[in-house]
Structures are given as structure tokens and as C-alpha cells.
């Protein structure tokens, strides 16, 4: 009976969503007039009240499109899983070459099933982020003895001088260094990237580390992230070198307002949907936090994600080298103080 009730809730939502789109989202409403937007948001609020838990959303509140995100004639439920008071429904929407795959998370409240989260994916369930051969090639391209580029005359350490007075947007403010937690890197191979990229342009840093657990910090000025730092050792860095990908630069491109440092071996073991869902979850956490430390697979915290300064852009990444030649730190500079 639970499975039937769960399926019925999702089917009812899909039907009601399409009816709402017919009323308020369908062209010519999608041309973007203020009246059309207000009407669409009103329809979405009614949908959430009827089918979702408080505080949830359909994810389509600000999207007026010529093609509805949900249509009972095109969206097919492919799986229903129920575990006591929680359930997951998977579906595929569309009959063209680029379908959308949905995962509905539901909870039972007062004998009713309600949708708590609605996730959309480009890849079907079970598809790996990268295939095993590509994963092996990526990991093997990093080495413990990879040469470092020439050192640069930079005051990277000054980005983490807690209490230092700096100029920001015409005001003088203090730097605050926040300890986010610890990150486990079992493989020693790191990737630094916009976590929203998924598998796109995936590459390791050329220099491999010894496996270990490393402290991670973010420097902030007036609630704006200035730089991200992974502390490899307690030794102070005496020189700074570009932290490059193999044969590439040390600049991290950002289009979704974040930078993440991740254990590449764990990342490439994930499914594509798993990574996309994690990105959505962690992005929500960044709305109220300086950064978030999390686990890619649920075993150990092996990833950190922070807001990238003022947002999208291109940010340099550096290795800090100690006096004895060992790697002491990895830093991403968000160029806020330049």
C-alpha cells in the first residue's frame, strides 16, 4: 500500500504541475512579463503547499519555459523504493535525445506522503562519473616527484594573517581565519575545481601528496571568502609555486560560484548522479556558511567546498613549500585583495 501511495503522490504532482504550466507557464506567458512571472510563482506556491514538505520547492519557481519540466504524457516512473517513513521515486522525462532524470525524495508525515526534495539530473542512475580506464589514467598522471614551477614572490601567507586590517570595497576590515575541519586524502591525488562541473575538464594536480588527513581553513573579510588553504604540515611555507594540473596552468575556472578541493580517487569512484546531488546539497549549505567539509561516499570527509570570493572567475592555486623542500600547504587565492 505504501508503494501505491508514494507513486500516487508523485503522479499527482506531475499532473498538477503540467496543469499549472498550461495556465501560467505556457507561451506566450513564457515571454517574461511581470504578470506572467507572478502568476507562475503563485502556481508553484500552490503546488508546494499541496505536495511538498514545508520549506521545499519544485526548483522551477523562476523558470518560465516553452517546454514543461513535468508532463504526465512524457514523464515515466521507473522505480519506487520505500523504507519505513522515507521513499525515493525515480522517473525519466522526455521523448527526445536529451531526457531529464528525476529523483523524488519523500517522507511520511501524519499518514501522508509528501515530497521533501526534487532533484533533476542529466545522466541516468548507475552511470559512473568517468569510466574506469579514464579514472586510472587521471590518477596515474599525478606523481610524488612531479617538478614544481619556479617560485613566485607572493605574500600568500598574508592572506591568512588573522586580524590583519585590509581594504575591501572602500572600507577597512579585519581578516578572519576559520577552521572548517579536516579532509582525508587516501590516494594523495587532489583535484581543485568548480564542483558543479561534474566530469567536465576533470584533472588532478600534477604533484601527488602522501596520503593523510589535512586541516582546511578559509580566510574571510566582511563575510567574503578571500582564500582557501589546505595545511599539509605544520611547517611554515617559505616559497610559493603554481599548483598546476599536468601540462596545464594553475588557474581554476569557476562558473557556479564555488571552489572545491577533493580526493580524486574517491571522486572518480562516484556515479554522475551522486556527484550532482552532492553539489546541490553542499551549495545550499554555503548559503549560511563560510565553507563545508563533507564526504563523497559517506566513509570519511574527503572534500571541501567554499564560495569563491565574489563568485565566478578564474583563481590561481599555489603550493607552499617548507624550508626542507616538502609541501606545506595548498592555497587557492580568490583575488579579493588584489
Residue 41's CATH number: 3.10.450.630
Residue 250: CB partners within 8 Å, gap ≥ 6? 149, 242, 243, 244, 316, 317, 318
Q: C-alpha dihedral over 316, 305, 63, 81, to 10 degrees?
A: 140
Give pLDDT, residue 110.
82
Per-residue pLDDT of 113-143, as tens digits, reads 999 999 999 999 999 999 999 999 999 999 9
Final residue in a domain of this structure, among 68, 94, 121: 121
d(CA 221, CA 243): 24
**Which residue stretches of the chain are H helix?**
2-20, 34-51, 132-140, 264-267, 272-285
- Does residue 289 carry a pLDDT above 80? yes
Whether 281 and 304 share a structural domain: yes
Residue where one domain finishes, among candidates 68, 95, 121: 121
Does a structural domain hold residue 126?
no
pLDDT band, very low/low/confident/very high, at 26 (cuts 50, 70, 90): confident
Q: What is the pLDDT of residues 195-241, one digit of tens each?
A: 999 999 999 999 999 999 999 999 999 999 999 999 999 999 999 99
Copy the grid coordinates of residue 61. 519557481
**Residue 63, pLDDT score:** 80
pLDDT of residue 1: 59
Q: Is the pLDDT confidence value at 65 over 60?
A: yes
All three cell numbers of 36 = 506572467
Which of 121, 151, 184 corresponds to the end of one domain?
121
* The pLDDT value given to residue 97: 77
Establish if 193 belongs to a structural domain: yes
Report residue 9: phi and psi, to 5°.
Answer: -65, -45
Query: How far is residue 150's CA from residue 310's CA, in Å, rounded to a whole number?
Result: 29
* Cβ contacts of 242 within 8 Å, gap of 6 or more: 148, 149, 152, 249, 250, 316, 317, 318, 319
Q: What is the pLDDT of residue 34?
A: 72
* pLDDT of 101: 96
Alpha-carbon dihedral sign for residues 116, 120, 126, 132: negative
Asked if residue 139 and residue 35 are part of one domain, the reply reads no
The pLDDT of residue 30 = 55
pLDDT of the residue at 285: 93
Mean pLDDT estimate for the chain: 93
> So what's the pLDDT on residue 98?
87
- Give the least confident one: 63-67, 177-181, 306-310: 63-67
263-284 pLDDT tens trace: 999 999 999 999 999 999 999 9
Residue 95 has pLDDT above 80, yes or no: no
Residues 92 and 232 in one domain: no
Residue that has been written with the C-alpha cell 500552490 in this structure? 46
> How distant is the alpha carbon of residue 303 from its chain centre?
10
| Locus of grid cell 593523510 | 212
* One domain, residues 86 and 171: no
Confidence of residue 31 (pLDDT cuts 50, 70, 90): low
For 304, the domain range is 132-333
Do the domain assignments include residue 191? yes
Q: What is the pLDDT of residue 298?
A: 87
Q: Per-residue pLDDT averaged across 278-298, rounded?
A: 94
In this predicted structure, the answer to whether residue 32 has a pLDDT above a threshold of 80 is no
Q: Between 33 and 133, where is the model more confident?
A: 133
Residue 338 located in a structural domain? no
What's the Cα-to-Cα distance from 139 to each of 13, 202, 206, 266, 333, rounded to whole Å?
Answer: 44, 11, 10, 11, 25
Answer yes or no: do 327 and 204 share one domain.
Answer: yes
- Number of structural domains in the chain: 2
Q: Is the pLDDT of residue 93 over 80?
A: yes
User: Buried b / exposed e across 212-251, counting CB within 10 Å, b at 16+?
Assistant: eebbbbbbbbeebbbbbbbbbbebebebbbbbbbeeeebe
Considering the domain architecture, whether residues 171 and 35 belong to the same structural domain is answered as no
Residue whose C-alpha cell is 523558470 = 63
Mean pLDDT of the 17-46 span: 83
What is this structure's pTM? 0.87
Q: Grade residue 43 by pLDDT with cuts at 50, 70 and 90.
A: very high
Write down the pLDDT at residue 294: 97
Amino acid at each position: 500500500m505504501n508503494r501505491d501511495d508514494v507513486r500516487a503522490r508523485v503522479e499527482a504532482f506531475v499532473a498538477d504541475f503540467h496543469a499549472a504550466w498550461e495556465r501560467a507557464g505556457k507561451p506566450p506567458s513564457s515571454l517574461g512579463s511581470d504578470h506572467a512571472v507572478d502568476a507562475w510563482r503563485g502556481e508553484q506556491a500552490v503546488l508546494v503547499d499541496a505536495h511538498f514538505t514545508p520549506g521545499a520547492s519544485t526548483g522551477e519557481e523562476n523558470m518560465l519555459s516553452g517546454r514543461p519540466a513535468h508532463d504526465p504524457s512524457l514523464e515515466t516512473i521507473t522505480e519506487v523504493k520505500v523504507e519505513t517513513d522515507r521513499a525515493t521515486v525515480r522517473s525519466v522525462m522526455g521523448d527526445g535525445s536529451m531526457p531529464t532524470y528525476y529523483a523524488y525524495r519523500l517522507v511520511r508525515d501524519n499518514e501522508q506522503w509528501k515530497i521533501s526534495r526534487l532533484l533533476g539530473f542529466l545522466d541516468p542512475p548507475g552511470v559512473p562519473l568517468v569510466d574506469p580506464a579514464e579514472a586510472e589514467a587521471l590518477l596515474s598522471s599525478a606523481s610524488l616527484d612531479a617538478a614544481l614551477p619556479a617560485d613566485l614572490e607572493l605574500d600568500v601567507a598574508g592572506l591568512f594573517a588573522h586580524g590583519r586590517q585590509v581594504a575591501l570595497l572602500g572600507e577597512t576590515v579585519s581578516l578572519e581565519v576559520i577552521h572548517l575541519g579536516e579532509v582525508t586524502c587516501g590516494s594523495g591525488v587532489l583535484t581543485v575545481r568548480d564542483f558543479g562541473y561534474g566530469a567536465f575538464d576533470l584533472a588532478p594536480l600534477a604533484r601527488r601528496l602522501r596520503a593523510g588527513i589535512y586541516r582546511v581553513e578559509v580566510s574571510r573579510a566582511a563575510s567574503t571568502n578571500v582564500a582557501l588553504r589546505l595545511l599539509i604540515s605544520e611547517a611554515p611555507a617559505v616559497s610559493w609555486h603554481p599548483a598546476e594540473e599536468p601540462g596545464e596552468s594553475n588557474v581554476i575556472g569557476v562558473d557556479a560560484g564555488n571552489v572545491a578541493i577533493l580526493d580524486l580517487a574517491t571522486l572518480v569512484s562516484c556515479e554522475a548522479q551522486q556527484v550532482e546531488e552532492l553539489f546541490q546539497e553542499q551549495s545550499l549549505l554555503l548559503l549560511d556558511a563560510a565553507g563545508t567539509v563533507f564526504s563523497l561516499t559517506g566513509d570519511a570527509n574527503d572534500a571541501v567546498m567554499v564560495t569563491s570570493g565574489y563568485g565566478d572567475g578564474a583563481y590561481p592555486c599555489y603550493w607552499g613549500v617548507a624550508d626542507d623542500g616538502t609541501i606545506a600547504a595548498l592555497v587557492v587565492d580568490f583575488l579579493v585583495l588584489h
